[in-house]
Every structure is written in C-alpha cells, then in structure tokens.
Amino acid sequence: MSQKRAVGLAILAAALYGISSPLSKGLLEHIPPTLMAALLYLGAGLGMLLVNLGRSLTTRPSSEARLTRAERPFVLGMILLDIAAPVFLMIALTQTTAANVSLLNNFEIVATAIIAMVLFREAIGRTMWVAIALITIASVILSFEDLSSLSFSVGSLFAILACLCWGFENNFTRKISLKDPMQIVVIKGIGSGVGALIIAFVMRQVNANVLPIGLALLLGFVAYGLSIYFYVSAQRTLGAARTSAYYAVAPFIGVLLSIILYGQALTASFVIALTIMLLGAYFAAREHHKHVHWHEPLAHDHRHHHHDGHHTHSHDRPDAQDPEHSHFHTHEAHEHTHRHTPDVHHQHNH
C-alpha cells in the first residue's frame, strides 16, 4: 500500500471515529455509559462479522492472511487493554474533573509513539517528532478550558494509566495488522464488547431500551467497526506512531459535527488548534525517510504482491497470478536503499 493511501485511510478512520462522541451524546440520555461502551464495541464486532459473512457468500475467498497461534498474545493483550482503559478512565472521572481527564487524554499520542520507539523498534525521526508535538499541542488547546482545567490527583494518574493502556493497545494492534483486518475487528469488537458488557452488568448499568440500543449498535458498526478496519489497514504501512498522529484529527471532526448538530459556538481556541493541527499534519506528510538498510532473513504470512522489491520469491501456487495473495513465504537477507516507512519489513535499527 502506498504511503498516501495509508494516510488517507488513517484520516478516514479518524473521521468515522470522530462522529461517535457527538452522536453518542443523545444516546447517553437513554443508555448508561458502561453499557454504551459495550454496545459500541459489540456493534463493531457483530456488524463486521455480518459483512464478512456476506462477503464470503458473494465473492471469492479473501486474499488476506488469517490470525494464527503466534499472534494470540497480542490479540489477548489488545482485548484486555481495550477493556481496562475505559475502566481506568471511568475511575479517573470519579476522582477529577472531566476537563482534566480530557486534557490528560492527549497523552495517548505521545505514549503510543514512545512505546513504539522503545519497545517495538519503530523509527521516529525529528520531523515526525515535530509533527507529534504539534498535533499533541493542538489537541491540548482543543480540550483546554482554563488554568483550573489541569490538576494532578489520583484521578489524573488513572487518566494517564488509561492513556498508557491505549498506547500499548495501539502497538499490539500494530503487531497483528498484517493479518486480515476484518478478522481483527470482529475479534476486537466482540471480545472487548463482551468484557465491557460484563462490567456493565456488575455495575448494574443495563437497561432494555430497544431503539436506543439498536442505534448504539449501528453507530458502533460505523464509528468503531469501519474506523478500526481502516485504522488497522493504515498501520500496516505507517506503523503505530504515525497512524496515531493522523488519527488525532478525530476530536476536531467531533467538534465540527457538534457545531452543526448542537449549535456549539466556533471558538478562537478551535481555530488556533485546527491551524496547529494542520501544521503538524504538514510535517508528518513531508517526512522523508531514506537510507541504506539491511534486511535480515524473515519468514511470515501476509497479503502481498511481487512488485514492491521485497517479495521476490517464486512459487507455483494457483493464486500466484493474482495481483495480491497471501501465503507463508521467506525473505532472503539483502541490502538496498529506498524511501520507506516502519512497516513489518522495515523494523531495523537506526
């Protein structure tokens, strides 16, 4: 996948997720928060499951590689972190103000980038760090109300802990992003949704408002299911840190939709934040990473084609003539120079 297309998918994922907050606002008048979180995830998983079933009945089998036992630790971690993060966030909201939590939530972008660089060997150059810094500043300005909005307490620690959970979750999802994104969304949605639903039952935050529940499931399919699908697809090429940076446009889309739906005033802080966000996106887009690099021998299974300079193997498989296909294959060690992003084939040291 080209970098431009990957960036487009990341922004599309952010746009779809951005509609969730303003549209959820009305539904929260009829659905408790914990149940709402469960329904959004369940809507994502069940909706994409139906899409997958429909696709299997009407088209040829998918060329995507399926998840295997080797990815199970990352899948389990992804689900558990997706359940834990909202719980920590709810605890934070009981201990400090919503404005304080909103400000601290911007730490997720930085946490994702640091975890990606330190633990998962993802290369992040100076230009991208400038982009991440600008995008983080823009997000802080967007959620900033006044000096009293930021205070440190036990609630603040739980908010930061939630961001760390999402930072690890973004990187765990990155580790399995080469596999079928449809399968990932189904497992992530149903697994996290069931976990959140159990918590909702324990907290007695369950009701039987059929129409709002149906609308929440539909919103989950669009704002979570499709969004995660495009997000995972973008991570294949961009890596965790860069995808997270582009995904940070979501709150701005949410504010714009709130202005349209609820008549929220267009403030000077929003215009300033949007300007800084666009500047950050400019720096992210102009990053140019090119150098001589060495590829270690690698064997794995994922969707690929034979025109990218990395998949030069030959085989007699019936699907070999297809533009893209998946099967277990081996990369020989070699050295070359070209512009690249931190995809699975470029996890080398710098």
Q: pLDDT at position 219, please?
A: 93
pLDDT at 309 over 80: no
pLDDT tens across 61-115, in order?
A: 666 778 888 889 999 999 999 888 887 876 787 777 666 676 777 788 888 888 9
- The domain segmentation of the chain, as residue ranges, is 3-291, 297-332
Q: In which band, very low, low, confident or very high, does the pLDDT at 117 lie, cut at 50, 70 and 90?
A: confident
Strand partners, 334: 295
CA atoms within 13 A on the CB side of 23: 18
Which of these, 68, 65, 136, lies nearest to 105 by C-alpha position? 136
Among 150-154, 185-189, 259-263, 273-277, name the most confident range. Answer: 185-189
**Residue 147 to residue 225: CA distance in whole angstroms:** 37
- Residue 144 pLDDT > 60, yes or no? yes
- What pLDDT is stored for residue 204 in this prediction? 87
Q: Residue 134 is which amino acid?
A: L
Q: At 137, which helix (H) or strand (E)?
A: helix 126-143
> Residue 335 — pLDDT band, cuts 50, 70, 90?
low
CA–CA distances in Å: residue 139 to residues 57, 74, 144, 205, 341: 43, 29, 9, 31, 25
Q: How confident is the model at residue 341, as a pLDDT?
A: 61
pLDDT digits (tens, 9 = 90+) for 262-301: 777 777 888 888 888 889 888 877 766 565 656 666 666 6
* DSSP, residue by residue, 24-73: HHHHTTTS-HHHHHHHHHHHHHHHHHHHHHHHHHHSPPP-SPPP-GGGHH
C-beta of residue 65 within 8 angstroms of C-beta of residue 121: no
Q: How many CB atoms lie within 10 A of CB 221?
A: 23
Provide the CA 129 distance to its chain's centre, in angstroms: 19
Residues 89 and 260: their CA atoms lie apart, in Å, by: 28
For residue 235, give the amino acid letter.
Q
* Average model confidence (pLDDT) across the chain: 80
| Prediction pTM value | 0.77
Task: Check if the beta carbon of residue 327 is closer than 8 Å to that of residue 304.
Answer: no
Greatest alpha-carbon span in the chain:
67
